[in-house]
């Protein structure tokens, strides 16, 4: 392979990883015109457009995606071979920013902070509000190191690993007219519903299922924070579908009746997500492993707790 072709592959890998010519230029310490010029040379050398504009963004062609599948492994191995980067959590002064929801924060932060105090006292940990669209953009723009939540769409610049699937339970106040027995579909549709929506959208997973059935419900109230839910339910006749993980806390469940939904709703798939630029970052590898272990450990405890609760 000629040196020029290897250089093009190096720049190509940076663009694919960053998803942006501008960010690739910053990563490579090159000017944007120089990177754009390299893309022109790629198109000539490989007889393919390589990248096409879509609005203000660029997207790789099928050829580019196929090429990256073949070269990114060897390119990363080469980079790893010539780069020495050590990470010692016991002495590190690094800061980690993680985008996550209130629910995941309540589950993860206590055991994670406890582990950091013991094993990595110099590391700082910062939580960032999570939405699917916002977290993906923050990862691409390097504003956060990790995100924990749902995957919106395939993005070649992001990596992920599955953490857990969370089903739903139906919750209402203990004195609710529907409490104490299974809820029928007709009763479910006639009720006033509370929807937890971090983005403000009034259409949730339950509504997606109802749409397929040709049915609809009334979403009377939406909230974008989990802590407000118990009091709203205890002081009204609203009902709501809650992720299983939310009802783990006895104080949260106090005064509430839990039962099964009268419809089958796909569980929430929760992933640990990071940007491809951090694939070989030893600090992020360590943090990802720790987060994954603690999440799975906490989730197993939650499932065992919920299994002991009455849910008619």
Task: Please check whether residue 87 lies inside any domain of the structure.
Answer: no
> Which structural domain, as residue segments, surrounds residue 229?
168-266
Q: Are residues 239 and 122 in the same domain?
A: no
> 51-75 burial string, b = 16+ CB within 10 Å, else e?
beeeeeebebeeebeebbeebbeeb
Q: State whether 203 and 148 are in the same domain.
A: no
* Domain annotation covers residue 40: yes
- What is the domain-level CATH number for residue 11? 1.10.10.10
pLDDT in tens, the chain (312 residues): 455 677 888 888 888 888 888 888 887 778 888 888 889 989 988 999 999 988 778 889 999 999 988 887 787 666 655 555 678 999 999 999 999 988 889 889 999 999 999 999 999 999 998 888 888 888 988 889 999 988 876 677 888 999 888 889 999 999 999 999 999 999 999 999 999 887 778 898 999 999 999 999 999 999 988 889 999 999 999 999 998 877 877 788 899 999 999 999 988 889 999 988 888 889 999 999 999 999 888 777 776 665 544 454
Which DSSP string do the residues of 257-307 spell out, in sequence order? EEE--SS--PPEEEEEEEEGGGTT-HHHHHHHHHHHHHHHHHHHHHHHHHH
Residues 224 and 282 in one domain: no
Residue 15 sits in the same domain as residue 78? yes
**Phi and psi dihedrals of 174, rounded to 5?**
-60, -35
Q: β-strand 192-196 against 268-275: which pairing, if any?
A: unpaired
CATH of the domain at 243: 3.40.190.10
In terms of domains, do 52 and 195 share one? no
Residues 175 and 260 both lie in one domain: yes
Backbone phi, then psi, for 310, in 5-degree steps? -75, 130
90, part of any domain: no
Q: Is residue 88 a part of any domain in this protein? A: no
Whether 274 and 153 map to the same domain: the answer is: yes
102 plus 77 within the same structural domain: no
User: Against a cut of 0.75, is the pTM above it?
Assistant: no
């Amino acid at each position: 392979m000629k040196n020029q072709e290897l250089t093009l592959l190096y720049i190509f890998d940076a663009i694919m990883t960053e998803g942006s010519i501008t960010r690739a230029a910053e990563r490579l310490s090159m000017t944007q015109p120089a990177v754009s010029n390299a893309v022109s040379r790629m198109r000539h050398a490989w007889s393919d457009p390589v990248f096409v504009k879509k609005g203000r963004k660029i997207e790789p062609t099928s050829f580019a995606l196929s090429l990256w599948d073949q070269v990114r492994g060897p390119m990363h191995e080469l980079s790893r071979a010539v780069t020495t980067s050590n990470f010692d959590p016991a002495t590190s002064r690094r800061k980690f920013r993680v985008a996550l929801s209130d629910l995941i924060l309540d589950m993860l932060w206590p055991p994670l902070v406890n582990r950091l105090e013991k094993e990595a006292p110099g590391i700082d940990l910062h939580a960032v509000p999570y939405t699917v669209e916002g977290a993906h953009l923050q990862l691409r723009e390097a504003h956060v190191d990790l995100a924990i939540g749902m995957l919106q769409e395939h993005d070649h610049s992001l990596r992920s690993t599955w953490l857990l699937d969370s089903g739903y339970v139906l919750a209402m106040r203990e004195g609710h007219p529907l409490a104490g027995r299974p809820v029928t579909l007709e009763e479910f549709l006639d009720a006033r519903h509370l929807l937890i929506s971090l983005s403000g959208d009034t259409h949730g997973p339950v509504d997606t299922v109802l749409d397929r059935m040709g049915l609809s419900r009334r979403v009377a109230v939406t909230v974008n924070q989990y802590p407000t839910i118990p009091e709203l339910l205890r002081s009204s006749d609203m009902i709501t579908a809650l992720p299983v993980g939310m009802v783990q806390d006895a104080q949260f469940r106090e005064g509430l009746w839990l039962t099964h939904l009268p419809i089958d709703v796909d569980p929430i798939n929760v992933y640990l997500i990071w940007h491809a630029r951090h694939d070989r970052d030893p600090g992020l590898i360590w943090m990802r492993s720790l987060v994954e272990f603690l999440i799975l450990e906490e989730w197993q405890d939650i499932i065992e707790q919920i299994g002991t609760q009455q849910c008619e």
